[in-house]
Amino acid sequence: MRKILIFMLLLFASCETDLDLRPKMQISTEEAFSNRENVQAALTGCYDALQLQHYYGRNLVIVGDLASDNSIANGTKVEYYDVDKNSLLANNILVEGIWADIYVAINRVNYMLFKLRDVTFLSEDELKSYKGELHFLRALHYYNLVRLYGGVPLKLLPTLNDSHENSLPRSSADDVYNQIIADLESARLNISNTLSERATVEAATALLASIALTRGNAENAIQYANQVLQIVPVLETSYDALFSSNTAPGREILFYVPFSATDKNRLAEYNFPNTLGGRHENAPSSVLINIDSSDKRKALIAASHGDKYYTKKYADLTTGSDRVIVLRTAEMYLIRAEANYQIDSVGNLGMILSDINAIRNRAGLPQVASGTFTSLRNIIEREKQIEFAFEGKRWFDLIRTGRAVDLIPTVTQPWQMLFPIPLSEILTNTKISIEDQNEGY
């Protein structure tokens, strides 16, 4: 029986040749959706795509801080230095790899959605929930793409070969966002799963809150953040516990990517100094090193070994089993605070202070009792920077607020807030030419 590659069932080996994707398993199309077990395996394959090395397995997480003022390139990889200097070329390995890995993830989702149309042995509720989870994943993938690259090809059907017929032009950023929102609304209506290592209704709603804030819709951001916090208002008592691989994820974590010895990430290796067995490619900037010593978060964010500083949020050098958190309720508090700030109403002051202080209380910092709206903006920005340091969010916050030009010396032009469209895409996609490249590249 002739076998063909099914993209969502591929597991990829980690390798130093950054675009070398090596399939470990194949399955025939006749078997892939023939029973409940194989459907579940296909769904697992869709989640496994999050673990790819250029995605949450390493580079998306690192780039989200390295492009910002949170961290600095400190090792041997030239591509990291280019991100750190905000001096990117279209053939940068990270620019190419993040794009490629996210589209691998999108294709797995699209293939499974396509094949589920013919599945008859699952109940209607089961099918709805599977599709809801897949829509959440596709929304997350496109959200990461559109924030990094702007408008991108909007692929909603599976690509089964490398034919030029599969080429699509760039869609506008607005069209991409419209699809993201549609996918998330579908996810919220249909998901029945409640495990935070898979998509949940709360995770979909939290992502909508982030999107609303990114697009300047403060009222919607507050509405979605409220919906999440009404169901899951808790913060972990200990900040450290969020990142400990020895503790089960608590309720604060809305969605995370699990890793294990067989499906490892290399974040600890790339963050730890050489003297502790790491590569120290990504090191805290002076901004994080100089966090107030009374802040309980500093011990994880900017630990020291001799004269070397590093993050301990990912500390499992041996097995690479640290979970990577994508969404948590702390972000909802700060999204709500920022959205209330954007509405610019004195009546929102009490809520803003309450949300800021929920985060500061856990960090062991004194409460903010009052402040002008200008000072509150800076406090919210600072709390976000510290709270989510090394979780890959800082760059997205700075480009969302337009503050990258103000705070990052190497960002001098607005066009630097988008990555270039990868050269490989321009060379192979017949619907995208050099004239479609982002400004400045």
Residue 66 and residue 143 in one domain: yes
Residue 166's pLDDT is 84
In this structure, the number of other CB atoms found within 10 A of the CB of residue 17 comes to 8
C-alpha–C-alpha distance, residues 181 and 38, integer Å: 29
Q: What is the pTM of this model?
A: 0.93
CA distance 149 to 140: 14
pLDDT (0 to 100) of residue 432: 97
- Give the long-range contacts of residues 224-229, CB within 8 A, separation 24 or more: 225/332, 225/333, 225/335, 225/336, 225/339, 226/336, 228/202, 228/254, 228/329, 228/332, 229/329, 229/332, 229/333, 229/336
Give residue 229's pLDDT. 98
Domain presence at residue 408: no
Task: Tell me the per-residue pLDDT of 127-161, one tens digit each, with 9 for 90 and over.
Answer: 999 999 999 999 999 999 999 999 999 999 998 87
pLDDT score recorded for residue 16: 33
Please report whether residue 21 resides in a domain.
no
DSSP symbols for 1-40: ------GGG--B---SSTT---B-----HHHHTSSHHHHH
Please indicate, yes or no, whether residues 223 and 99 belong to a single structural domain of this protein: no
Chain-centre distance of CA 410, in angstroms?
23
128 and 77 within one domain: yes
CATH of the domain at 56: 1.25.40.390
CA distance 145 to 132: 20
Q: What is the pLDDT of residue 400?
A: 95
Number of domains in the chain: 2
Same domain? For 175 and 71 the reply is yes
Question: Considering the domain boundaries, does residue 9 fall inside one?
Answer: yes
Q: Domain check: are 231 and 114 in the same one? A: no
Is residue 202 in a domain? no
Q: Are residues 169 and 225 in the same domain?
A: no
The domain in which residue 358 lies consists of: 218-257+286-316+324-392
Q: Are residues 183 and 109 in the same domain?
A: yes
In-domain check, residue 207 = no
C-alpha span between 95 and 116 (Å, rounded): 32
Query: Following CA atoms 213, 218, 223, 228 in sequence, which dihedral angle do they give, to the nearest 10 degrees?
Result: 30
Residues 150, 226: one domain? no
- Per the domain annotation, does 172 fall within a domain? yes
Q: Is residue 401 part of a domain?
A: no
Q: Examine the domain organization and report whether 163 and 230 are in the same domain.
A: no
Q: To the nearest 5 percent, what fractions of the chain are helix, strand and coil?
A: 50, 5, 45
The pLDDT score that the predictor gives to residue 348 is 84
Instruction: Identify the H or E element spanning 282.
Output: strand 282-284
Q: Are residues 227 and 334 in the same domain?
A: yes
Distance CA 241, CA 260 (A): 18
**In this predicted structure, what is the pLDDT of residue 2?**
30
Rounded Cα distance between 55 and 70, Å, is 19
Both tokens assigned to 73? 């390139």
Q: DSSP 3-state assignment of 276?
A: helix
Closest CA to 333 of 301, 305, 357: 357
Return d(Cα 182, Cα 147) in angstroms, integer. Answer: 17
Q: In which residue ranges of the chain is pLDDT below 50?
A: 1-26
CB 348 within 8 Å of CB 341: yes
Q: Check whether residue 161 and residue 89 sit in a common domain.
A: yes
Q: Does any domain span residue 278?
A: no
User: What is the total residue count of the chain?
Assistant: 441
Q: Are residues 370 and 430 in the same domain?
A: no
**What was the pLDDT predicted at 441?**
96
**Do 317 and 278 form a contact (C-beta atoms < 8 A)?**
yes
The terminus-to-terminus CA distance of the chain in angstroms comes to 47
List residues bridging with 283 in a β-sheet.
Answer: 72
